[in-house]
Structure 1
Amino acid sequence: MPPADDPYALPPLAPARAAAIRRQLGLTTGQVAWAVAAYCGSPVHPDLVHAWEAGTIAPENDHVKALAAALWCSPADLVGEAATLAQCRTVAGLTVNETAAALGITRGQWEQAERRNHWRGTPAQTQALLRTLCPPPPCFVAACGKSAQLRVLLREAVTTWWPPYVGPLTRIVPLDPALLHHALERLHRAYQHWEGATGGPAHQAARAEARAADFLEHIDRHLWQHLREALNPADDPSRPTP
């Protein structure tokens, strides 16, 4: 199994999604196990497929590809959110050469971007990256080296008055400004709820203060969660099943 920090691996399997697709096809875990074994050329027990769907065992890349073949779908339909540029390319099913050509850069430049998970392209190249690889917002922001800047902006927005921060936020997160406007407003309300509760009885105030501090500490995670819910309201991990 590839190491957890392997940037060239597929994103982790989304167990609920894999199970849902199997059920939609009317297949048993035994039938899927047989198809995966035929694809891989080695035995696969139905209990292993059940463990993948339960999330107790993470399949290797080759098994994810075999599982996708067994379920008549793309590996991208079975995995969670990409966290690196290389994972975005893998999910998109593109080669290094194809990606470099689509972005208008050299193969060496793209290989370096993948190796460092760091993106520094021109505005036109960045737009091509967004169109070609569709990186999830957290992945894109991290690759651009703006995660720390985002956290500072969000903390200032929720602890003061949020509307002036919508513009700066849109320059970091490549999403519809109206969507970011709504997410920032929700974050502000959530933080102000806990901040306002710090003036109550001592035990309640201490709890509210701790919750407010934790909210600020993980403010970017709350943003991503709000955006995922807004973009995919019926999806549990990140994308709807086909």
Structure 2
Amino acid sequence: MPVHTQGGEPRRPPFHAEAARRLREALGMTPAHVAYGIRAAFGIPVPPATVASWERGESTPTEAELTALAGALWCAPGDLLGAPGTLREYRLALGLAPADLALRIGMDRAAYERLEAGGAWRGSDRQAAALAEVLALPLPALVRFTGRDGHLTELLTSAATTRWQAYVRPVGQVVPLSRQQLRSVLQELHGAYQATMAATLNWGGSDSAEESGRAGRAFLDGILAEFWARAGEPRP
């Protein structure tokens, strides 16, 4: 089931035009050869001019066309995509159909398609682990796709602004990192937040408290990205 924009048009995959051109040229093929391969193997009538348009970045293939193009170029769909940022893009990079992925993680197809279209995660921990394994998801992506970003942000905010020690276990229930690593990262976040607040208060003047509040809010607004960076898991 395609994801649609507000205008009703199917959202195209994040196509890497330059990669497509390089792969075609490395095989000694012309756009006409590629178009023929797509039509012969996949039954999709794509004119050579369309293939050339994809390579110039003037248009992008649909999901079905992307899979066919990868087949014609003897590569994986992921070789024709930019860095994945959505659940659908991670799936496309592996050339999996929604039904295939749903089957592999033990989820109803309709439930998975709702998730990919922006619905809330309704799966189990076992299904979440299977999703991460099948798609090779980075930890930040898994937390985001399973809808735990907001809860994690709340825990991190409390850890930075109060006693961080009390939040090692709750954060560990959301993020499967070692207790030692979590203690270290939460202590660093707490120290960084307190240092930010103290630095602005030490500026002196009647506006120092207001400046401190702004600096503190700015730090907390970015606390999730800061957590992933300090944990060695850059957020996608």
Which residue pairs with 2:86 in the alignment?
83
Deviates more, 1:200-209 or 1:144-153: 200-209
CA distance in 2, matches of 1:94, 1:164: 42
Partner SS state of residue 117, structure 2: helix
1:223 counterpart (208, 218, 227): 227
Question: C-alpha displacement at 1:216, in angstroms?
Answer: 0.8
Q: How many residues matched?
A: 212
- Alpha-carbon separation, structure 1, partners of 2:147 and 2:135: 18
C-alpha change, 1:61 and 1:222, in structure 2 (3 Å) is farther
Q: Provide the alpha-carbon RMSD of the alignment.
A: 4.3
Counterpart contact for 2:172–2:179, Cα < 8 Å = yes
Question: Given the alignment of the two structures, is residue 191 of structure 1 paired with residue 193 of structure 2, yes or no?
Answer: yes
Gaps of 5+ in 1: 50-56
CA separation of 1:126 and 1:66: change in aligned 2, threshold 3 A: closer
Matched residue type, 1:224: W
Residues 90 and 30 of structure 1: CA distance in aligned 2, closer, same or farther (over 3 Å):
closer
TM-score relative to the length of structure 1? 0.63
- Deviation (angstroms), 1:220: 1.6
Q: Normalised by the size of structure 2, how large is the TM-score?
A: 0.64
In structure 1, what is the equivalent of residue 60 of structure 2? 60
Distance 2:224 2:123 in 1: 24
Tell me which amino acid in the other structure corresponds to 1:98: D
**Structure 2 counterpart of 1:147, from 149, 171, 174:** 149
- SS in structure 2 at match of 1:152: helix
Larger Rg: 2
The answer (yes or no) to whether the contact 1:194–1:209 under 8 Å persists in 2 is no
Partner of residue 54, structure 1? none
| Higher RCO (C-alpha 8 Å, min separation 6) | 1
- State percent identity of aligned pairs: 28
Aligned 8 A contact 2:77 2:92 in 1: no
1:93 and 2:102 aligned: no
Residue pairs, 1:98-137, within 5 angstroms: 98-137=100-139
**What CA distance in whole angstroms lies between the structure 2 residues aligned with 1:70 and 1:103?**
29
Question: In structure 2, what residue type is equivalent to 1:153?
Answer: L
Unaligned segments of structure 2, at least 5 residues: 36-47
3-state SS of the aligned residue for 2:215?
helix
Q: Distance in 1 between matches of 2:24 and 2:125?
A: 50
1:52 maps to which residue? none
